[in-house]
Chain A
Amino acid sequence: MREIFTVSLIWSSTRLATPLVLAALGGMFSERSGVVNIALEGIMLAGAFSAAAVTYAVGNPWVGLLAGIGAGLLIAAIHALACIRYKANQVVSGTAINILMVGVPGFLSGAFFLSSGSTPQLPKEQLIPNTPIVIAALMVPLTWYVLYRTPFGLRLRSVGENPEAADAAGVSVERIRYTGVLLSGVLAGIGGAYLSIGQSSLFTRNMTSGRGFIALAALIFGKWRPVQTMLACLLFGFTEAVSIQMQGVVKLPSGADIPVQFISMVPYILTIVVLAGFIGHSRPPRAIGLPYQKER
């Protein structure tokens, strides 16, 4: 049992938590402004695919990272436009984007790389395995500062709590919400890019495999607060790391494998438990999910 709790486990937890932290903090900007963002999964996929494809095309991962951010922004912009301008149901819009982003990378890679949904392998020197981790680490205090110590943060929080009050105080609800959702695109885009040009060396079909939703879970588990959310991401990253390391290595006393499935369930079960209020209460921003309608 002892050999698995090593430095390498901590390191791999951190690596696995990185995309979660980026996406979850992104989701925080969106949800704190009152826009539900279950599109994080789709945004990450967009970021992952664009980063890998562009890095392959130009041979420079930094350009690829920028492309990942750009793609994240674009998808977030669609979500923002649908939810804010056209007052679409935010969950529906997010679902639509997630379905769309199952298709688009496959469609494009089929056309450009003649593959069934993946990009060509990238050489090792064209990867950025560490920078996104640093970005994620820096984003936590930065997000905290922005949220609690700047006028923008005050406006963001108030728009998510009570948009009418913010409007009456002269704050443009729409502008703040657009900013919040677009920021989620930037951060989740980086998170996605890290998956394809940081952790691995190519984009594969559906490579996020639910990380956008785990990020969302971490956001709820962290009660929509930056530091707690980061801790939740680390916890979820740790469970993933453990389940990878235990596979085939550690046996139950009976000699059987420890089923990975049970470890991978941990984040989801914890989220349900927290949401139900068994471990402290997690209260979402009050106006979340509601389009702001001025004249009723």
Chain B
Amino acid sequence: MLELRNITKRFGEVLANDQINIKVEAGTIHAIVGENGAGKSTAMRIAYGFYTADSGEILIDNQVCQIATPHDAIARGVGMVHQHFMLVAPMTVAENIVLGAEPGSQVSLDLAKAASEIRKLSEEFKLAVDPNAVVENLSVGQQQRVELLKALYRHAQLLILDEPTAVLTPQEVEEFFAILRRMRQQGKTVVIITHKLSEVLAISDEVTVMRDGRVVGRLQTKETNAAELARLMVGREVLLRVDKPEAKIGATKLKVSDLSVTTKDGSSRVDKVSFEVRAGEIVGIAGVEGNGQTELIEALSGLVESSQISGAIKFEGKDITRLGARLRRELGIAHIPEDRHRRGLLLEFDLAENSILGVHYRKPVVAYAGDIFLDNAAIRRRANEIIEAFDVRPANPDLPARSLSGGNQQKLIIGREFDLHPKLLLVSQPTRGVDIGAIEFIHRKLVALRDAGCAVLLVSAELEEVTSLSDRLLIIHKGRIVGEVDPKTATNEEIGLMMTGGH
């Protein structure tokens, strides 16, 4: 059905796809697995015409074809559901589905006809959704259905799904897989991009494994297992546990009671959460992404407006609920944000300037005339220390942050926050989009900080990461802490069940 031959794609200095070959047989469900940044999405975005390959060719039904835009791909029966949905939020479901493939003539848009066709498709594939609903009012699961209908409406024979389960609970995943099987029954071909091995084994017929922009294996799902896939994915035996000494637990640093966070428009994100973090321990928070982790951490670090918060946050016994980010940092609370491009870095600024973000207004960074001027010598000294201690490469404080790889950017942020000698560290997705070497380095540093007596609150979407690093593990679901387990003894099944609210 679909074949990519010798596809190469470069983004600036990054080789995202290096001479890759992928072949998808018609009427199968084909999984493409690999770690974050392995090049899976890039390859499929090329197949869908969203990116143009630097070299190589695309074959559909054994014919070489030019796919320069999504329009070309759609015309050849290819549909794609992106990880971040491609929907126009203030428009209706029907409008979104017909967009670009409108029924009726050029001078008249026949939405009634569209709605009836959509209803027919909904029934055929059991994708219930109201054509007249406005997309921004739909749940994530419903929006995903709209995306599927969009592809089906265009008569897609091949559906590419990029990380479709990231936003779903395990129960929803089951339903979703049923839909995929139904599609296969009807003769459609499905490509599913994922980094979750259990899903590969559960749903696919064949699997292509990618690593560092290359294809490193193509296997029949029946003939492989999780261990083999994992080995291919990371290129070595997976390190399951981080070596760490017994925790030496001290006084309570952070005490959260009945904390609730709502969005600006009033919907609840965090719902009456209470917990403590003590000196010398790492408390992990596990959960499916989008269950309030982001809002919880931002509320704790002082980045949510106090009108959106209720409950109490106490640090070393002092109520800090109404304090801003700057004052919290001054008390000794450091924060490694989940999205380093959005929160963590000033990408156009050089490393030296980035190394002072958050302490740019106080000694030793400022001097002269009542401390209003920046002390460049001191700033460079500090930047060089961080760069050296955290092995940031290239080790040049004059480079713009943008020019560094994800791993090195992350190390710079971690170095900057560690340099505060925090008493409490809030850390979110510390190793997202970071290469294996840097992951190990970051994990060791986190454990070292804990052993030095810092309280650490860790949020990660990687279950493996939270269970191996944490001393205690809290599980969050729909903004509520639904349970606490001992990560040394709890099984993944047990945690997974709690993550889905099935407790």
Contact = CB atoms under 8 A, between A and B. Distances in A.
Q: Give chain B's interface residue range (CB within 8 Å of chain A).
A: 20 to 34
Interface in B88-110: 88-91, 95-96, 98-102, 104, 106-109
B89 A171 contact: no
A155 B100 contact: yes
Nearest to B81: A168
B224 to A, nearest CB: 32
B82 interface: yes
B70 A151 contact: no
A165 B86 contact: yes
Contact of A295 (B51, B69, B150): B51
A168 B11 contact: no
A138 interface: no
B479 to A, nearest CB: 27
Contacts, number: 83
Given A167-B69, A172-B71, A294 B89 contact: no
B148 interface: no
B80 interface: yes
A164 B101 CA distance: 16
B230 interface: no
A150 B106 CA distance: 6
B91 A167 contact: no
A295 B11 CA distance: 8
Contact of A170 (B90, B91, B101): B101
Interface string A134-178: 000000000000000111111101100110111111111000000
A192 to B, nearest CB: 28
Contact of B86 (A149, A152, A164): A164
A158 B69 contact: no
Contact of B106 (A152, A158, A165): A152
A154 B99 contact: yes
A162 B100 contact: no
B360 to A, nearest CB: 28
A170 B75 CA distance: 9
23 contacts: A151-B106, A151-B109, A153-B109, A154-B91, A154-B109, A157-B91, A158-B91, A158-B99, A162-B89, A165-B85, A165-B87, A167-B50, A168-B48, A168-B86, A169-B74, A169-B99, A169-B100, A169-B150, A170-B73, A170-B154, A171-B71, A172-B69, A295-B11
Question: 4 tightest A-B contacts by CB?
Answer: A151-B102, A169-B100, A168-B86, A165-B86
Given A150-B109, A169-B96, 19 more contacts: A151-B104, A151-B106, A153-B109, A158-B96, A161-B89, A161-B91, A162-B86, A165-B86, A165-B99, A166-B100, A167-B69, A168-B50, A169-B70, A170-B70, A170-B74, A170-B75, A170-B154, A171-B99, A295-B11
